[in-house]
Structure formats: C-alpha cells, structure tokens
Amino acid sequence: MIKSIFTNSFGILFSRILGFLRDLLQASILGANIYTDIFIVAFKLPNLFRRIFAEGAFTQSFLPSFIASRQKSVFSAAILGKFLTFLIFFALLVSLFSNFFTHIIASGFTDTVIDKAAPLVAINFYYLVLIFIVTFLAALLQYKNHFATTAFSTALLNVALIFALLYSQDMPKEDIIYHMSYAVIMGGLMQVAVHVIMIKKLRLHLLLLGGLHALKTKKSRVSQDIKDFKSQFFASTLGSSTAQISAFLDGWLASFLVTGSISYLYYANRLFQFPLALFAIATSVAIFPKVARHLKNEDFVKAHDILEKSFWFLASILTFSAIIGIVFSKDLVWLIFERGAFDATDSHHTAIVLAMYLLGLLPYGLSRIFSLWLYSTHRQKEAAKISAIALGANILLSLIFVGPLKVAGLALASSMSGFILFFLTIRAFGTQAFLDIIKSKKLVYLLMGAILFTFLIIMIKDHFSAYLQ
C-alpha cells in the first residue's frame, strides 16, 4: 500500500511541478486579464470532467462492478463503447453550439467576450473524450495494481502547454490562448498513447479485444452488471466531485466580478489542489482497489485497518500543509506567480483567496478516504445525497459571502461546504467507527504538534520578514 501511495504521490508531484512551471509562464506571459479568463473558462468544462473522471467518479463505480462481473472482458468493452459514443456526440454538440455552452459557463461575460471564447471552448472540449479513454485504461491498470503510468502521464499535458507558451510568447495574447488550446488536445493524445503502450505490455489489450469480439453474442450476460454500473456511476459522479463542482461554481460567479477574479480563483485553486492531489487523491487512488477487494470478501478488519492508517497519514500531512500554506500564502503566490504581467495587486488578491481555500484542505482530503467505504459497498446514491447537500450549502454560502467579501468569499464558502461534506460522510461511514479511530494518543500528539508547528512557522515567517526589511 505504501509503495502505491508514494508512486502516485511522486508522479503527481512531478506533474504538479511542471504545472507550477506552466502557471508561472502563463502568469508571466498572459497575466490576470481577460485573455487569461477566456482560456480558463474554455478549459474549465473539460477540466471539471477530467477531475471528476480521473480523480474518482468513474473508477469508484467501474472497479467494484468490474471485480464483481463474471464476464469482465465483455463488461469492460460494453462500458467503453457506450461512454465513447456519448462523449463524441457531446463534443460535437458543444462544437456546433459553442456560444450557448460558453454563455452557460461564463454568464457574466459580455457578448463580445463570449464570441471570442466560444471557439476555444469547442477546441478544448475534445480533451474530455481523450481523458475518458485515459481514465478507462487507468482503471484496468489499477486492477493490476499498476499506478505509475497514470501518475506520471498527467505531466504530459503540462509539457504540451509549456511548449505552447514558450513557442507563442511573443505573439498577440489571442493567438497564445489558441496555441494553448491546441496543446491541450496534444497533451491528451500523448496521455492516451502511453496508456495504450502499458495496456499492451501487461496484455490487457487481449481482454478488451476479446470483449469487443464477444460483445454482440454475450452482451445479454452483462446487462445487469451494466445496469448496476450506470446507477452507481451517476450517483458516484456527484458524490465524488464536490470540490470540483464548487470550484466550477466559484468561477461562474466570479465572471460577474471585476476582471481578473476568475484568474485569482484559478491560481489560488491550483495551489490548493497541490497538497490535495499529492496526498489525498494519491492515497485514495492507491487504497481503493484493496479496500474494495477486502469488503467484497467481507474482510472488514483489513479494510478498516487500511482506512485507519490512511486517516492518520492524511490528517497529519494535510494539517501541516494547510498551516504552511495559510501562513505563507502571500510568499507562495509572490514566489511562484509575481513576475511579468502578474503584478503585486494580483498577488495580494490571489493570496487571500488561497488562504480561504486552504481552510477546507483537511475536510476535503479526509472526506475522500471515508467516502471509499461507501463506494466499495455500493452506496453511491448515499454519497451523492451527501454531496448534493454540501453543494447546496456551498451555493447558499457563496451567495451570502460574495457580496461583502467578493472573490475571497467564494473560496471561503467552498471551504465551509467541505466541513459539511466531511461531517455528513463520517455519519454515513459510522460515527462510532470514526470515534474508535480517533480515540488514540495520536490525536493528542497531532493537536499539540499542530499548535507548536503553527507558532514555529509564524516565528520563522516573522524572522525572515524582518531580515528582508
């Protein structure tokens, strides 16, 4: 388990480092203006689905159904065919009515800006088709306990975008965002390619080819498996995507605020997603196949043991990450983004938003591992209900806070909804079972360590601030 977690974490770390380099170049070359806002909006919809697909929803529904199916090859081929058909049709629909979809995701834009953004929305949306193929193949690799390809392949998107930014940096800003959009598609194609290579190396292509060959004659044998998967998938999509949908709603509301607000949210959320992906998502991806297998075999003790170890690991590392991020929010934004077209004012606003987001790091991270228990026991609908309540609270809180706090209020509302998500998830997991986990000296050590660490970090910050002055 530890090896799988660190494989995922190292791959995500590598990708995120390249991601920060990409953001650094993007901030320096484009800044925080209408062109940056346009690209972020254009990439927002496919990126939302990428996070939902790749970071849980599909795998959390597919793997338990795949493990339980007696016709694994036919089942996997049927799912692949149905999703690809729908997504290709959806992408074509977005291309034909790109202005309509752009207006939905950025209602605050003027008609002129929407006309500029619409073609980019159409281009970027095809990335969704590619990332589904990647996610599907990654789920098969996870079944074989292979995580490295998926973990490291996420860097390819950033490589493509970095190359596009360097190549087009002296061009007009409108041309730059077109180059970036085409780079998104190229990054998706490269991700598909490396997964296909590994699928063939592990001879999993034989399973898919066999399933496609037998699909017509044996499809009826997996009809119930497909029906069960569908009901679980739609519930799982909502249940595992609270943070992503919250960020999407934040961006929509920010389109009504001053120019640059979408960019402040984007850059702050990128920093927030770093520890969330590096630790929480990497851990949940690594332990999910094992937890699902143990629960299927009714080995509750082993499944609970994995969850308990993961809890203390995440509780510790996310707590310290949040403390560092909040205390050094201004310094982090200044160090990573403030250069070129990204000025001190942009840094100030982004740092405030980042601090508000980081308040929700711990509850969002811990919610992911406890929700695995629900997904592994086919309680996706219950997880979806919990997520819907948290999303409703997020919308209400956003409308309350956006007036007095502007863009920072959106991030604060997102963090508060994370706490609601966590408490409801714990109640579904079992309050007594959770109390059994935290009734330990480890909790005292963690709280004392967090307090001492906070004072230490503040002292370090004050020392270096005085030194620099």
In a domain, 43, yes or no: yes
Q: Which amino acid is at 93?
A: L
Average pLDDT of the segment spanning 437-457: 92
Residue 356 has pLDDT above 80, yes or no: yes
pLDDT of residue 468: 45
Q: How many domains would you assign to the chain? A: 1
| pTM to 2 decimal places | 0.70
In which band, very low, low, confident or very high, does the pLDDT at 398 lie, cut at 50, 70 and 90? very high
In which band, very low, low, confident or very high, does the pLDDT at 467 lie, cut at 50, 70 and 90? low
Average pLDDT of the segment spanning 397-421: 92
In a domain, 358, yes or no: yes
In a domain, 386, yes or no: yes
What's the CA angle centered on 421, arms 417 and 427, to 5 degrees?
145
Domain that holds residue 300: 2-463
Taking CA atoms, 30 is separated from 180, 202, 387, in Å, by: 11, 43, 35
In which band, very low, low, confident or very high, does the pLDDT at 257 lie, cut at 50, 70 and 90? confident
- Between residues 237 and 329, which one has the greater pLDDT? 329
In a domain, 469, yes or no: no
d(CA 239, CA 219): 29
Counting beta carbons within 10 angstroms of the beta carbon of residue 61, is it exposed (0 to 12), middle (13 to 18) or buried (19 or more)? buried
- Between residues 421 and 15, which one has the greater pLDDT? 421
How do the residues of the chain divide into helix, strand and coil, expressed in percent and rounded to 5?
Answer: 90, 0, 10
- Sequence-distant (≥ 6) Cβ neighbours of residue 376 within 8 angstroms: 64, 288, 291, 292, 295, 296, 303
In a domain, 19, yes or no: yes
pLDDT digits (tens, 9 = 90+) for 259-311: 778 888 888 988 998 898 888 887 887 787 788 778 877 888 888 899 999 99
Residue 55 has pLDDT above 60, yes or no: no
Count the alpha carbons within 13 Å of 244 in the hemisphere toward its beta carbon: 22
In which band, very low, low, confident or very high, does the pLDDT at 14 lie, cut at 50, 70 and 90? confident
In which band, very low, low, confident or very high, does the pLDDT at 236 lie, cut at 50, 70 and 90? low
pLDDT digits (tens, 9 = 90+) for 73-90: 888 888 888 889 988 998
Counting beta carbons within 10 angstroms of the beta carbon of residue 145, is it exposed (0 to 12), middle (13 to 18) or buried (19 or more)? exposed
pLDDT of residue 17: 83
In a domain, 468, yes or no: no
DSSP class per residue in 97-114: THHHHHHHHTTTS-HHHH
Average pLDDT of the segment spanning 113-121: 87
pLDDT of residue 294: 84
d(CA 288, CA 265): 30
